[in-house]
């Protein structure tokens, strides 16, 4: 994911002129206030986000504060001190006396300066302490027209109109076109993961414009690291988000295999899981080595080529006791543990106990390695902080332990997740914590709530620890329901959960995914959700999840589907090298392909199932290739959407699927 630079029309190319001038109202002196490079950059930030205050990020808002408050106050206060209005002269001592107005202006200037410095200190504190892994205070509740709280005994029809969930594989109502359904969205999401495959492709590869690529990956280290998935619109194989993709897709299969079967997509999902886990196995050649990445992001982003034509070197990045990466290894352990459950299902076409055992062996080894040599991969490789910066590794260890417990039944892993590690790093009581490739705590909360709700333990102490996870999961769900008293304000006017300007849809789809799964857990346990005294049925969490999919697939102010290939109005200029370069028989070199990045023509290939970053906070969206924040897709987004639309494609009356995760 190209996060370090902007292609084409850059922020640096946006300009508001060389300087601004300001005059003091003083007949004797004139002050010229010039905008230098720093201030010009701040002004350009506004232009870069479509001139909308609503779409400013936290960092840009702080920059504007520094420019529009501190600079004028400093100018005013300095002017009062240096060029004060000496209105009177005392003839006796020939000393100037300051007028009453001078004192008033200076006093006001001091007050304003004090306020500005306080605000600047707070802003700097916010920069130094990012909110990635801290709870959201919620803010003012967002209250669109949604079902009202439910009281036991009420007629369910009093909840108000909600989606009429149809048969498996089909949308309740046509969202964009009568020709499209949730079954289509599921198939498209899995198609994008096929598009992203690296290595030697199978003979029945369904993507006609893709071929074999990066067959020599790992040769610099003497290992075979071919295979896996390219991350986004580039050709890097980032281990952390790729493993997360496998974990989410495995969880989706474990919960919603019947729905995927009804849409004829179960085998396709399992094939992609195995494509990733085969690569993870090769990345773990011995007990103290894990290759967490292939490809130099800086070099890769300086090229624009089809993956089949890659001509630059692709270094391999290794984790070992001297260069730890517990976050990547923890996620890889979680992915292989979850996948082992998939391949252990009796009676399925993909049942493979030997492969499941192999995955479980690697998962247990990686967990032990990651726990014994703790550390973040972005501390071992600081340059990677520009791309997928990990804000901690303890959550991945809890996530891995939870999946290992489900896969093995071993009490050790449950004790790990509910013991001191859980108390210290589990985020109990903090919500909402936004689930993503970086922060797994909300996923742990939901997954261990399943244990508490559906597989209660007789150990009172451990039951109380599991209850802490369930109580925290409740807080997240209360933040997601729009008319809850503690509803999060982090959503657009159109109703989309919106947490960050970069690839905003990642939090939208993940929040909806967790809400859907949690609603099913509550339904299976025959429980409701209580938010500050208000009671909500599980279906109301499903309505929330449905509303987020509804938004992403076209029911939004832009009337655009953010899933490429879904409906008629979807992004045509996806930031994606392979999709943007035609299959014209020409092998474009590293720099020669940039003509297609800057082409005004639509992509010659449709990267079906790519879920783009989506809108800014003001619900606006611009479809152009250089718009990396909004118009690039990532594999984990499509994986989460696949599970989400699969789970929404059945009615509550058909029962909650509990066939795979027991």
Q: How confident is the model at residue 45 (pLDDT cuts 50, 70, 90)?
A: very low
Taking each helix axis as running N to C, give the angle between helix 239-262 and helix 505-524, from 0 to 180 degrees, rounded to the nearest 10.
Answer: 50
Quote the tokens at residue 288.
């103290």
68 contacts: CB under 8 Å, gap ≥ 6: none
Q: Find the domain containing 79 and state its range.
A: 11-128
Q: How confident is the model at residue 112 (pLDDT cuts 50, 70, 90)?
A: low
User: Is residue 245 helix, strand or coil?
Assistant: helix
Query: Average of pLDDT values for 286-301?
Result: 95
* pLDDT score for 46: 39
Place of tokens 């910066």: 389
- Which of residues 84 and 155 earns the better pLDDT score? 84
Q: Residue 30: inside a domain, yes or no?
A: yes
User: Does the pLDDT value for residue 47 go beyond 50?
Assistant: no
Contact status, residue 7 vs residue 597, Cβ threshold 8 Å: yes
Q: Per-residue pLDDT tens for 533-587?
A: 999 999 999 999 999 999 999 999 999 999 999 999 999 999 999 999 999 989 9
User: Is residue 202 helix, strand or coil?
Assistant: coil
Q: What is the mean pLDDT of the chain?
A: 79
* pLDDT score for 101: 59
Query: Average of pLDDT values for 180-209?
Result: 91
* CB neighbours of residue 34 within 10 Å: 10
Contact status, residue 639 vs residue 252, Cβ threshold 8 Å: yes
Give the C-alpha distances (Å, rounded to integers) separating 127 from 2, 39, 132, 134, 481.
22, 19, 11, 13, 29
Which residue, 149, 171, 169, is CA-closest to 159? 149
User: Does the pLDDT value for residue 296 go beyond 50?
Assistant: yes
Total domains in the chain come to 1
To the nearest whole percent, how much of the chain has pLDDT over 70?
71
* pLDDT score for 368: 97
* pLDDT score for 180: 55
Which residue, 167, 169, 165, is CA-closest to 261? 169
For the entire predicted model, the pTM comes to 0.76
Spatial distance between the Cα atoms of 274 and 437, rounded to a whole number of angstroms: 19
Spatial distance between the Cα atoms of 510 and 418, rounded to a whole number of angstroms: 24
Phi–psi pair at 648, nearest 5 degrees: -85, -5
Q: Residue 77: inside a domain, yes or no?
A: yes
Give the C-alpha distances (Å, rounded to integers) separating 60 from 20, 49, 114, 493, 496.
20, 10, 22, 21, 22
Strand partners, 229: 197
* pLDDT score for 301: 92
* pLDDT score for 91: 40
Spatial distance between the Cα atoms of 273 and 660, rounded to a whole number of angstroms: 16
Q: Residue 251: inside a domain, yes or no?
A: no
Q: How confident is the model at residue 606 (pLDDT cuts 50, 70, 90)?
A: very high
Quote the tokens at residue 237.
């194989």
User: Is residue 416 helix, strand or coil?
Assistant: helix
* pLDDT score for 122: 54
Query: Average of pLDDT values for 62-69?
Result: 51
What are the start-end ranges of the H helices in 263-393? Answer: 266-282, 297-301, 326-342, 353-372, 377-380
Q: Residue 69: inside a domain, yes or no?
A: yes
Query: Average of pLDDT values for 457-462?
Result: 82
User: Does the pLDDT value for residue 651 go beyond 90?
Assistant: no
Q: How confident is the model at residue 437 (pLDDT cuts 50, 70, 90)?
A: very high
Which residue, 401, 438, 403, is CA-closest to 416? 401
Lowest mean pLDDT of 6-15, 180-189, 323-332, 433-442, name the range: 6-15
Contact status, residue 661 vs residue 252, Cβ threshold 8 Å: no
Give the C-alpha distances (Å, rounded to integers) separating 639 from 187, 241, 269, 282.
11, 11, 9, 22
Q: How confident is the model at residue 98 (pLDDT cuts 50, 70, 90)?
A: low
Q: Residue 204: inside a domain, yes or no?
A: no
Contact status, residue 642 vs residue 612, Cβ threshold 8 Å: no
* pLDDT score for 19: 30
Half-sphere exposure in the Cβ direction for 377 (13 Å, CA)? 29
Q: Per-residue pLDDT tens for 233-282?
A: 999 999 999 999 999 999 999 999 988 998 899 999 999 999 999 999 99
Supply the residues annotated as catalytic: 575
Q: Per-residue pLDDT tens for 464-488?
A: 889 999 999 999 999 999 999 999 9
Stated length of the chain: 662
Q: Per-residue pLDDT tens for 123-137?
A: 544 444 434 333 333
Q: Residue 94: inside a domain, yes or no?
A: yes
Q: Residue 578: inside a domain, yes or no?
A: no
Q: How confident is the model at residue 39 (pLDDT cuts 50, 70, 90)?
A: very low
Phi–psi pair at 363, nearest 5 degrees: -65, -45
Give the C-alpha distances (Å, rounded to integers) separating 263 from 57, 170, 184, 191, 336.
39, 8, 8, 14, 25
Q: What's the 3-state SS for 552-602?
A: HCCCCCCCCCCECCCCCCCCCCCCCHHHHCCCCCCCCCCCCCHHHHCCCCC
- H helix or E strand, kind and range, residue 293: strand 290-294
Q: Residue 534: inside a domain, yes or no?
A: no
Spatial distance between the Cα atoms of 278 and 293, rounded to a whole number of angstroms: 15
First to last CA, the chain: 36
Q: How confident is the model at residue 183 (pLDDT cuts 50, 70, 90)?
A: confident
Lowest mean pLDDT of 169-183, 377-391, 552-566, 586-600, name the range: 169-183
* pLDDT score for 382: 92
Query: Average of pLDDT values for 493-522?
Result: 94
Spatial distance between the Cα atoms of 237 and 316, rounded to a whole number of angstroms: 10
Phi–psi pair at 339, nearest 5 degrees: -65, -35
Spatial distance between the Cα atoms of 226 and 228, rounded to a whole number of angstroms: 7
């Amino acid at each position: 994911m190209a996060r370090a630079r902007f292609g084409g029309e850059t922020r640096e190319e946006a300009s508001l002129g060389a300087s601004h001038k300001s005059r003091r109202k003083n007949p004797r002196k004139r002050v010229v206030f010039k905008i230098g490079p720093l201030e010009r950059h701040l002004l350009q930030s506004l232009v870069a986000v479509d001139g909308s205050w609503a779409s400013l990020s936290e960092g840009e808002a702080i920059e504007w504060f520094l420019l529009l408050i501190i600079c004028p106050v400093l100018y005013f206060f300095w002017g009062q001190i240096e060029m004060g209005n000496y209105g009177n002269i005392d003839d006796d001592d020939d000393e100037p006396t300051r007028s009453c107005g001078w004192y008033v202006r200076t006093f006001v200037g001091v007050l304003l300066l004090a306020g500005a410095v306080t605000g600047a200190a707070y802003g700097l504190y916010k920069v130094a302490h990012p909110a990635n892994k801290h709870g959201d205070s919620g803010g003012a509740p967002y209250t669109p027209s949604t079902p009202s709280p439910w009281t036991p005994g009420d007629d369910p029809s009093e909840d108000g109109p909600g989606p009429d969930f149809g048969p498996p594989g089909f949308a309740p109502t046509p969202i964009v076109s009568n020709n499209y359904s949730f079954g289509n969205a599921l198939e498209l999401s899995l198609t994008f993961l096929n598009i992203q495959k690296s290595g030697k492709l199978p003979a029945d590869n369904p993507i006609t414009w893709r071929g074999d690529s990066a067959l020599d990956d790992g040769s610099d280290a003497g290992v075979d690291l071919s295979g896996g998935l390219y991350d986004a619109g580039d050709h890097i194989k980032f281990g952390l988000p790729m493993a997360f993709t496998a974990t989410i897709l495995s969880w989706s299969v474990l919960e919603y295999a019947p729905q995927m079967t009804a849409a004829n997509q179960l085998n396709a999902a399992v094939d992609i899981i195995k494509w990733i886990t085969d690569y993870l196995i090769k990345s773990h050649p011995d007990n103290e080595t894990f290759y967490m990445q292939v490809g130099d992001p800086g070099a890769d982003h300086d090229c624009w080529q089809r993956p089949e034509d890659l001509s630059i070197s692709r270094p391999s990045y290794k984790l070992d006791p001297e260069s730890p990466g517990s976050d990547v290894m923890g996620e890889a352990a979680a992915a292989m543990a979850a996948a082992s459950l998939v391949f252990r299902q009796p009676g399925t076409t993909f049942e493979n106990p030997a492969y499941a055992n192999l995955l479980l062996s690697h998962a247990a080894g990686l967990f032990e390695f990651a726990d014994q040599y703790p550390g973040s991969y972005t501390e071992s490789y600081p340059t990677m902080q520009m791309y997928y910066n990990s804000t901690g590794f303890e959550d991945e260890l809890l996530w891995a332990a939870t999946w290992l417990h489900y896969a093995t039944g071993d009490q050790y892993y449950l004790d790990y997740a509910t013991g001191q590690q859980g108390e210290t790093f589990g985020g109990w009581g903090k919500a909402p914590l936004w689930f993503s490739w970086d922060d797994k705590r909300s996923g742990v909360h939901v997954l261990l709530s399943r244990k508490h709700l559906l597989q209660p333990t007789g150990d009172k102490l451990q039951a109380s620890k599991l209850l802490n996870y369930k109580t925290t999961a409740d807080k997240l769900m209360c933040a997601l329901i729009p008319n809850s008293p503690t509803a999060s304000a982090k959503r657009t006017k159109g109703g989309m959960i919106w947490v960050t300007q970069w690839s905003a849809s990642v939090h939208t789809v993940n929040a909806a995914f967790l809400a859907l799964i949690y609603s099913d857990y509550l339904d299976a346990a025959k429980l409701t959700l209580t938010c500050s005294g208000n009671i909500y049925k599980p279906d109301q969490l499903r309505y929330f999840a449905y509303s987020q999919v509804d938004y992403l697939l076209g029911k939004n102010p832009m009337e655009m589907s953010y899933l490429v290939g879904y409906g008629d109005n979807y992004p045509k200029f996806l930031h994606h090298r392979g999709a943007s370069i035609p299959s014209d028989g020409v092998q474009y070199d590293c720099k020669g392909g940039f003509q297609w990045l800057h082409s005004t023509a639509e992509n010659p290939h449709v990267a079906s199932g790519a879920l783009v970053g989506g809108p800014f906070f003001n619900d606006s969206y611009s479809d152009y290739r250089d718009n990396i924040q909004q118009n690039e897709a990532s594999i984990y987004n499509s994986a989460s959407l696949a599970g989400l639309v699969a789970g929404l494609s059945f009615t509550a009356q058909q029962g909650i699927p509990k066939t795979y995760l027991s």
